[in-house]
Chains A and B, each alone.
Chain A
Amino acid sequence: MLTKRVVVCLDVRGGRVVKGTSFVNLRDVGDPVELATRYELAGADEIVLLDISASAEERGTLLDVARRTAERLFIPLTLGGGIRSADDVGSALRAGADKVSINSAAVVRPEVLTESARRFGSQCVVASIDAKREGSHWFVHVKGGRERTELDAIRWAAECVRRGAGEILLTSIDQDGARTGYDIELTRAVSSAVDVPVVASGGAGSLQHVCDVFQHGGADAALVAGILHDGITTVGEIKDAMRRVHLMVRAA
């Protein structure tokens, strides 16, 4: 039986790991290769390197970071940020990524998901969706959360899967960095609408929050970042808490 995954996200800018609140107020938290390998030892099931660089110059370093990370990391590595085309997906895979997440580019041209899945297989194509609540709906935002679209997040998730995405990385913009819990309703709505794994992201502040998104949100994986980087908890403590509520997890 598949276990529930704890995925550690490292936001990378200019080759360094940073952390911010609601995509702004960034702080430096360390070297990506060091952090990634340390989290593998701690029991992380996967690592995501998300490039949040503002410029092409900063972005140039990401493939190099991926290459150096892949040589020392023996758990799956997802690369995201600034991926525009199936060729970009190919470059990321060759640099050492196992999966590649596509966000804004899929909104602009959804065919990029299909083209990437055809060339490299659905298992490496992750549709990354940033969603913001408006009443009882969630709208997809792009460009690092700065630009609203007219797309309904739940319908968009289903379309991404139809077009070839093998996994959904679902971030709640409202909850991101707030540490008041994942958006359970959003996660549940999307995980019920698609038949591929859903990675819930944004809002982890406590062990209970992580357990909740699995138990009540139907997530297959939970993305955590800040609470680990700031030493509030550890991957081991998260997995112990998950075990206590009878969630299947991998032992480190």
Chain B
Amino acid sequence: MRVTIFDYGAGNLHSLAKALDTTDVSLAIETDPVRAVETDVLVLPGVGAFGAAAERLASGRGIMRDAIQRGLPTLGICLGMQLLFDASDEGAGEGLGVIAGRVTRLNAARVPQIGWNDVTPVAGDALFASAPLSMAYYANSFVCRPTDELAVAAWTTHEGDRFPAAVRAGNTVGLQFHPEKSSAAGVQLLHAFLKTGVTP
């Protein structure tokens, strides 16, 4: 199975690459958004700022969006999840628009949220059913606000603000937390996505 991480700039991909690089995976790290979609599973990693990432995405935005909407299994992590949405208050530029909604600042006194917080899956989500995870590591100032709550696969709360810990649209999953930093249970979730994410 070909798994490709779209590298859109600054950031630490070591742990993510190591976690995804299992025996039956051929892992690639690709900086070109058009070439990145020539894969079996696409991963949008999670470090950086929305504006800069949207700029790096711009030249291949339409092609990547089409590939995802045709069913390319895609996992967006943190900022990568936010890129699945239309736009963000954090910076200019367009997201992929695969999930309708906007990214806005966390409505809390302590921002960024840094640390381990709950993950409360919505009943019946296949990914969390196969790899249970109740707590994960977050490091974010912005959160996704999907237009339709049916897109939410798991919730979490920071202070009084309830927001999606995970979203899903078909084969595409977005995670606000960092599975590659959430110890053994997080790594198992990544492996589960590689398995279940590919089946419709």
Q: Chain A residues in contact with chain B, CB under 8 A?
A: 1-3, 5, 40, 45, 67, 70-77, 90, 93-99, 118-124, 166-167, 195-197, 220-221, 250-251
Contact = CB atoms under 8 A, between A and B. Distances in A.
A72 B178 CA distance: 16
Interface residues of B, number: 35
A76 B181 contact: yes
Interface in B43-62: 47-49
B112 A166 contact: yes
Interface stretch (B96-104, B135-143, B146-154, B167-175): B135-143
B198 to A, nearest CB: 23
A71 B48 CA distance: 20
Contacts of A220: 110, 114-115
A102 to B, nearest CB: 16
Nearest to B108: A195
6 contacts: A3-B115, A45-B115, A74-B182, A76-B139, A98-B178, A250-B135
B114 A67 contact: no
Contacts of B181: 74-76, 98
Contacts of B49: 118-121
B14 A221 contact: no
Contacts of B183: 40, 74-75
A195 B109 contact: yes
A70 B12 contact: yes
B114 A123 contact: yes
B interface, over-half SS: mixed
B94 interface: no
Given A71-B15, A74-B15, A197-B115, A119 B10 contact: yes
Contacts of B114: 123, 166-167, 196-197, 220
Contacts of B109: 195
Interface of B: 10-12, 14-15, 18-19, 47-49, 109-118, 135, 137, 139-141, 157-158, 178, 180-184, 186-187
Which of B18, B114, B178, B186 is packed against the most chain A CB atoms within 10 Å? B114
- Residue from A76, A196, A220 with most neighbouring chain B CB atoms (10 Å): A76
A123 B11 CA distance: 12
B14 A70 contact: yes
Contact of B115 (A2, A77, A97): A2
Contact of A74 (B10, B115, B117, B186): B186
Contacts of A99: 139
A1 B112 contact: no
Nearest to B190: A74
B15 A195 contact: no
A96 B12 contact: yes
Contacts of A5: 115-116
B184 A74 contact: yes
Contact of B112 (A76, A122, A221): A122
Given A75-B183, A93-B47, A196 B110 contact: yes
